[in-house]
A and B are shown apart, each in its own frame.
Chain A
Amino acid sequence: MNVGLMNTNASRSQSRISVVGIGNVLLGDDGFGPLAVEMFRCLYECDSNVEILDLGTPGLDLAPYLYDTDLVVIADAVHAQEGEEPGTLCVYCEDDLGSSHAQLRLTSHDPGVQESLAQLRLAGHGPSEVIVVGVVPESCALGKGISVSVLNTSLTAVDTIARLLAERSIDCRRRHAPVPRNLWWLTGSA
């Protein structure tokens, strides 16, 4: 049973890693985040200190999922910068989220991301590192599913998440056989 947020009693010597997808699955490419983390769960096997969560569109309710974590990888749809095509993969670190362009909104949900991070930092419970793995969406229309360009990039995005973890010496192995995926919102029926 995969119970989110349950590893509270894990000793602090063991690092806590979260791989979270953000976005609304009912709104086309806005569902990139949930799609990416579900594919990651099916293709890669991680230790129990890595929590994989589809968080939907939590706004400020994001904070509990980042509380006292060491590394958070956020998969999300991001705004296109000039000249970027739909399906472009972008990886950002936390400094890119806030700093020089205080008003720049990289991901569609980053008012929640930035506020949650700032609150947690001030309270002394923020994550040590935050990475955003983003994809430029083609269309975020109601009930349209994932576009081909975003779908094509999502496998690269999943491998990128795995590489980011491996670079930080976090155990993350490609499965010999993928576990069945549950993309209920993309199929005809739940």
Chain B
Amino acid sequence: MARISIDPITRIEGHLRIDVEVDGGAVQKAWASCTMWRGLETILRGRDAREGWVFAQRFCGVCTTVHAIASVRAVEDALQLEIPANAQYIRNLILIAHALHDHIVHFYHLSALDWVDITTIPNADAARAASIADGVSNWPGNSHRELDAVQNKVKGLIGSGQLGIFSHGYWGHPAMRLSPELNLILFAHYLQALEFQRKSCQVVGILGGKTPHIQNLAVGGVMNAINLNSLATFNMDRLGMLQSLLQELIPFVQQAYLVDACLLAASYPEWFRYGRGVANYFSVPDLPLDAKATQFDLPGGVIMNGNLGGMQPIRSWRDDPFRAAVVEDVTHAWYQGKEPLPPWKGKTEPDYTDFHEEAKYTWVKAPRYNGHPMQVGPLANVLVGCASGHPLTRKWTDMAFKTVSSVPGSSGSGLNLMPENLQSTMGRYLARAIRSAMLSDLALKHWQLLTDNILKGDDTTYNPPQFPPHEIMGMGMHEAPRGALSHWVVIEKGAFTNYQAVVPTTWNASPRDQKGIPGPYETALIANPVVDPEKPLEVLRTVHSFDPCMACACHTLDTTGREIARVKVL
């Protein structure tokens, strides 16, 4: 038996450590550990509740807008404060643009190279690659000329002997199985994706005033001044710029990203058998359609034991069963405390002990839903959507399944996928692409809702909050790129007395709980193949399928001269 420790595991945010025991070429046991203290909530205690979002936006450098919006929603919930329809649409558009950006970066820049071996690209037949790509997509970036140019760049890079940031890949690993042509297609899109990242940022910048830290939020709505006759405010020019950017962004998502995810799925069909993990899922409703947030474009729900037929919907942000179900357990996390606590009563008192797998071994708490570990993220979204017969989810899921089965000559051609099969490592990749295609449709819909509402003469964006002297509690939800996010606040005289953020990665990277039941990463790794313990590529594939983000912060804890990642076979 081999014991492997990978630290850090994420390509950028170096705070996740994974330990696995491997026997007979497969993982037998796994532990997920976050190696950085995440006590940012303590900084919010005593702060003015109207300004909590400005600080919450700094919890994580990647999910800035996500925390900002969950924070204002939590305070508005505590006040039972309605916000104007314009504010809902503007926030929705920011959330959509951010999510598209995030998913594109995840697929291409954070995880594609777990599946794509760039060192084979010089051997590709660029003309053949262009014809393969043409067979599955109308994306204009698949021309022979474009692919030829990318191939030459890669030849130059490899010829220089200086692979730089690409020198850490597991090139030539036996689990890398794409043809040189598919490697070329996906890597061409890896480079093209940079332009579309930028366009999503521009959308957020136009709406939020600045990016990555938006400036336009307020408890009670948004601060965008709408006046169609004034150049200095939000006007038809700005709306027109938004529309053009969205129209440029959407084809990349639907014709390049989604199709690439389908190409991967068709080429690596065995990865629909690995990585299922915790089969309990939940998703929260998002993209409200009205001022009172009674209707949503994206459905919420809870699925237990992979039973899609028994899905229980979460219909609103004020869903009482949800509020009563969530607790956080710190038995195996470096915090003081014994009994699991609901977030409103949550504490964040550190109790660091070093890594002890039988005792405490991570800074991540173990959130539980009615006592159960839960998986969150695009897979949960798509399963809940399919289980509730949500037409937009069905549209893109069916489209993805059809594309996977139609990829000519791949091992997965003829693969007859059902939503249940998505409960796997590859399913998480495909679900994220399906979710992105859905969001890109919704981007234009919410742009239209905003434009129509403004043209109707509604220019309100803000309802001022009034804080009572007594204690109030609230919870703000958002279905973020990595899954359901909730901010839980307690406010007295307009200032926070408690603040807890239960973030998607806390659900997914959860350690074992007091009953010893492991979290989604830990469970998903069981039976994961590992051909070569020195090069645990397959472990990375499953962990990266969750898109880990260990709440960014200061990285100066890393010592100078440290390796990018350390794999220790113990």
Contacts and interface: CB of A to CB of B under 8 A. Distances in A.
Contact of B561 (A61, A104, A125): A104
B467 interface: no
A183 interface: no
Specify which of A6, A8, A108, A119 lies most central, judged by the most chain B CB atoms within 10 Å of its CB. Answer: A119
A122 B552 contact: no
A79 B556 contact: yes
Contact of B560 (A54, A59, A104, A137): A104
Interface residues of B, number: 59
Given A1-B232, A61-B101, A123 B194 contact: yes
Contacts of A55: 61, 212
Interface string B1-34: 0000000000111100000000000000000000
User: What is the interface residue range for chain A against chain B?
Assistant: 35 or more
A106 to B, nearest CB: 8
A184 B54 contact: yes
A190 B43 contact: no
Contact of A111 (B14, B105, B153, B190): B14
Interface in A152-166: none
Contacts, number: 163
Interface string B79-117: 000000000000000000000010001000110000000
Contacts of A56: 58, 61, 64, 212-213
A143 B210 contact: no
A143 B101 CA distance: 29
A56 B166 CA distance: 25
Given A118-B165, A122-B191, A26 B62 contact: no
Given A26-B40, A114-B165, A101 B194 contact: no
A98 B12 contact: no
A64 B199 CA distance: 8
A67 B268 CA distance: 33
21 contacts: A24-B554, A26-B43, A56-B61, A56-B212, A58-B212, A60-B105, A61-B212, A67-B194, A67-B195, A79-B560, A81-B560, A98-B164, A101-B561, A105-B561, A108-B555, A111-B564, A119-B109, A123-B191, A140-B556, A142-B39, A190-B47
The 7 closest A-B CB pairs, nearest first, are A57-B61, A190-B51, A64-B198, A59-B12, A27-B554, A123-B191, A30-B554
Given A26-B58, A118-B164, A140-B554, 13 more contacts: A3-B209, A24-B58, A26-B553, A55-B61, A56-B212, A59-B61, A63-B198, A67-B194, A98-B164, A105-B558, A111-B555, A142-B39, A189-B51
Interface of B: 11-14, 37, 39-40, 42-43, 47-48, 51, 54-55, 58, 60-62, 64, 101, 105, 109-110, 153, 157, 164-167, 190-192, 194-195, 197-198, 200-202, 205-206, 209-213, 232, 552-558, 560-564
Interface of A: 1-6, 8, 23-28, 30, 53-61, 63-65, 67, 77, 79-81, 98, 101-105, 108-109, 111-112, 114-115, 118-120, 122-123, 125, 137, 140, 142-143, 184-185, 189-190
